Amino acid sequence: MCGIVAYLGQKNAQPILIEGLKRLEYRGYDSSGIALLGDAEVTITKSVGRISALEEKVGVDVSAATLGIGHTRWATHGAANTINAHPHVDYTGKITLVHNGIIENYATLKKWLESKSVEFASETDTEVVANLIGYFYSHGNSRNGTKVPASGNKFEWAVQEALNELVGSYGLAIICSDYPDTLIGAKKGSPLILGVGEKEFIIASDASAIVEHMTQAIYLSDNEMVIANRDGFKTKTIDNIAVSKSLKEIEFSLDAIELAGYEHYMQKEIAEQPEALATCMKGRIDLKSNRVVLGGLQNHLRKLASTKRIILTACGTAWHAGLVGEFLFEQLARIPAEVEYASEFRYRNPVINDGTIVIAISQSGETADTLAAIEQAKERGALVIGAVNVVGSTIARTTDAGVYLRAGPEIGVASTKAFTAQVAVLTMLAIELGRRRHLSNEYAGELLREMVQLPDKVGLILKQSDHIKEIAKANIDRDNWLFLGRGLNYPVALEGALKLKEISYIHAEGMPAAEMKHGPIALITDGMPAVFIATRCSQYEKIIGNIEQVRSRGGKTIVVATEGDENIKQYADYLITVPDTDEKLQPILNVIPLQILAYHAAVLRGHDVDKPRNLAKSVTVE
C-alpha cells in the first residue's frame, strides 16, 4: 500500500522524486523519504508525516544526483517513525532500497542474518531485504552456496539471489553505491511500472508518478525484475530467464490527476461522475438493437448467459457494488449469484462447480485480497472476469477476460466515481445476460434508454451540494448514525455508511431497513441521525413504516426520496430528492447524495478528506 518512485536519467533526481511522491501520497502517508546517489555516496532524507514535511526537510538546494529512489509509507511492520521510514540501507552501506508489500518469512531470514553478525536498526521487514542483498553482495555467495559468476554483474546477481529467498509480496526499487548508473526494480504481488523516456527511466507504483515526464511504460508481472542503466533496460524473471516486454501508452494525461480548481480530489471525483458514467457507457449501449456490447467479454457471453452460478468477489466499496450486481444478476438474468469478501474467499474452501463464473471487482486492479481470490478461483477451474479501472493493472492482466470501468484516475482514498462506474458495468452486463435469457427486448430497451440518461440526472443531484452541506452541518455533532435501505438500496445504505466512517470518523451502521427492528433499534436515541434511502420502489410502503419506527423513538430522519414525492415530506426531518428512474438503476443515483453528505461532514469536522487516517487508496497487502 506504500508508494514507490525512482529516477535514473540526465536530470536532477530530487525534484522528480518529491513530485512523484506527492502524486503517490494517496497510497500511504505515515512517513516518507528519498535516497540520492551521487559520486558513489548515498544521501538519505526521511520524515514522519506528509510529503510536505519531507519537502521542507530536503529544502530547495537541489542535489546534482541523477539517480535516486523515494517512498511514501503506509505502516505494516513497525511504528511510523523515521527509523522505520524508507529508504532502508543495508549494514554495509552499499545497498539502498524502497519496498511496497510484506515479506512473510522475514523473521526466519532475519534470524539467519543475525547469526552471521548482521545488525538491524529498524523494526521493518524491508530491512531484511536490504541486508540479505547486502550480505550476498559483500560475500559473493548466496545462502545456498551459489557464487557470483566471474563475468556477471555482482549487484544484479545479489538482488536476484535475494529475491529467490523471499516469501510474500514486494515492489522494490534498489540502488547500489558501487553502481551509480544502475537502477533495479522487482515485482511480486505489488504493482510496479517502468516509465521509459529519452535516456531516462522512472520506476513507480503507478503511472501517476510517471505521466508528467513520460508517456510510455512497461508493466512488470510477478516474479520479474528490470535492470535499467543510462543506455537502456532489460527485463527478466528472478530465475534469470529473459523476458520481452512491450511498451504501452499511459492511458491518461497529467490534467486528469490535477485538482483543477477543486479543494479536494474527492470533491472533484464526485463532480466528475456525469462524465465518468457517460464514458463508461459510451459505445457499449446499442439503443437500435437494445443490446449491450462489452468488447472484452464478447467471446464469453454465451458461457456467461448459460452459467448456473456467478460469484462476485471484491473488498470495501467494490464489495458494495458487487452486492448490487448480485441482486441484478438474479432479478434481470435469473442467474444465482452471490458476493464474497475477497479477504475471506480463499480461506474458506469455496465451492466452485463446473461452469461457475467469478467476477472480480477492483478500482486499482491491484487489491491483494482480490488477486488471491482470483488465484483460488482459477485453480478450481472457474472462468474469471475482471471489472477494474486501471488499465494494465495486475487484475486486468491476470483474469481471463474483463471490462474496464473507464472512470478515469481516482486519487481520493474514499472511492466515489469508481463505485458508480462499477455498478454501471454490472448493470449493463446483467441487462445483456437477461436479454439473452428471458428478459423481453422491450424492457431491456427501456432500461438502456434510462441508463443513458443517468449522467444528466447525476448532474442535477450535484446541484444540491449546498443543501446537503446544511444537513451535514446540523448533524455532525452526532457520533452514531444509521443508514437504511431495502432491496437494491440496501447496498447503497452500506456504501453511505462506509463513506461517512472513512472520512468523517463518525461511527455509522448500514443495514437493510427491515433488520433494524431485530436488534439495532435499541441504539436509537433522541436526535440520532438515520439516513433512509426511500425512493419510489416496490418496497416503498414498507420503508415508510421503518421511518415511522425511527421517528417514534426520537431519531432524526434524513430521507433520500424521489423528486416530486409529496407524501414523503411528512416523514422527513431533512429531505434530499433525486430524479426518478427505474428501480433497477436507482443505486447509481441514490448513492450520490450520500457521497456529498460524507464529504461535507468530513470537511466541517476539519478532517483531511483525501488522506483519512490509517487508510490508503490501493490495499496491496493482506
- Supply 594's cell numbers: 450520500
If pLDDT is split at 50, 70 and 90, which confidence band does 432 have? Answer: very high
Q: Is residue 425 part of a domain?
A: yes
Last residue in a domain, options 392, 424, 452: 452
Q: What's the predicted TM-score (pTM) here?
A: 0.85
If pLDDT is split at 50, 70 and 90, which confidence band does 317 have? Answer: very high
Q: Is residue 81 part of a domain?
A: yes
Contacts of 594 (CB under 8 A, 6+ apart): 483, 492, 495, 496, 499, 500, 531, 560
Are 430 and 494 within one domain?
Answer: no
Q: What is the mean pLDDT of residues 417-446?
A: 96
CATH number, domain of 25, equals: 3.60.20.10
- Supply 482's cell numbers: 444509521
Contacts of 144 (CB under 8 A, 6+ apart): none
What is the pLDDT at residue 18? 92
- Summarize pLDDT for 51-69 with one digit per residue, the tens: 888 888 887 666 789 999 9
Is there a contact between 371 and 398 (Cβ–Cβ < 8 Å)? yes
Are 332 and 206 within one domain?
Answer: no
Are 321 and 363 within one domain?
Answer: yes
Q: Is residue 616 part of a domain?
A: no
Residue 525 reports pLDDT greater than 60? yes
- Summarize pLDDT for 277-294 with one digit per residue, the tens: 999 999 999 999 999 999
Task: Indicate the average pLDDT of the chain.
Answer: 92
Q: Is residue 140 part of a domain?
A: yes
Pick from 89-93, 129-133, 214-218, 515-519: least confident: 515-519
Is there a contact between 250 and 217 (Cβ–Cβ < 8 Å)? yes
What is the pLDDT at residue 619? 62
If pLDDT is split at 50, 70 and 90, which confidence band does 572 have? Answer: very high
State the total domains in the chain.
Answer: 3
Select which of 2, 176, 315, 537 is catalytic.
2
Last residue in a domain, options 204, 221, 250: 250
Are 265 and 193 within one domain?
Answer: no
If pLDDT is split at 50, 70 and 90, which confidence band does 423 have? Answer: very high
- Stronger pLDDT, 148 or 574, i.e. the higher one: 574
Contacts of 137 (CB under 8 A, 6+ apart): 90, 92, 94, 95, 154, 155, 158, 176
- Summarize pLDDT for 242-269 with one digit per residue, the tens: 999 999 888 777 777 788 889 999 999 9
Residue 487 reports pLDDT greater than 90? yes
Are 131 and 234 within one domain?
Answer: yes
CATH number, domain of 557, equals: 3.40.50.10490
- Stronger pLDDT, 462 or 231, i.e. the higher one: 462
- Summarize pLDDT for 207-230 with one digit per residue, the tens: 888 988 999 999 999 999 999 998
Residue 139 reports pLDDT greater than 70? yes
Are 467 and 538 within one domain?
Answer: yes
Are 340 and 400 within one domain?
Answer: yes
Are 592 and 495 within one domain?
Answer: yes
Range of the domain at 557: 463-610
Q: Is residue 404 part of a domain?
A: yes
Phi, psi of 149 (to 5 degrees): -60, 145
Are 245 and 262 within one domain?
Answer: no
The total number of residues shown for the chain amounts to 622
Q: What is the mean pLDDT of residues 77-98?
A: 89
What is the pLDDT at residue 400? 94
Last residue in a domain, options 431, 452, 473: 452
What is the pLDDT at residue 522? 74
Q: Is residue 310 part of a domain?
A: yes
Are 472 and 434 within one domain?
Answer: no
- Summarize pLDDT for 325-336 with one digit per residue, the tens: 999 999 999 999
How big is the chain by its Cα radius of gyration, in Å?
A: 26
At residue 536, the 3 state secondary structure works out as coil
d(CA 208, CA 368): 20
Are 390 and 529 within one domain?
Answer: no
Residue 620 reports pLDDT greater than 60? no
Are 536 and 520 within one domain?
Answer: yes
Is there a contact between 531 and 493 (Cβ–Cβ < 8 Å)? yes
d(CA 111, CA 120): 11
Residue 2 annotated to the active site: yes
Select which of 46, 110, 584, 617 is catalytic.
617
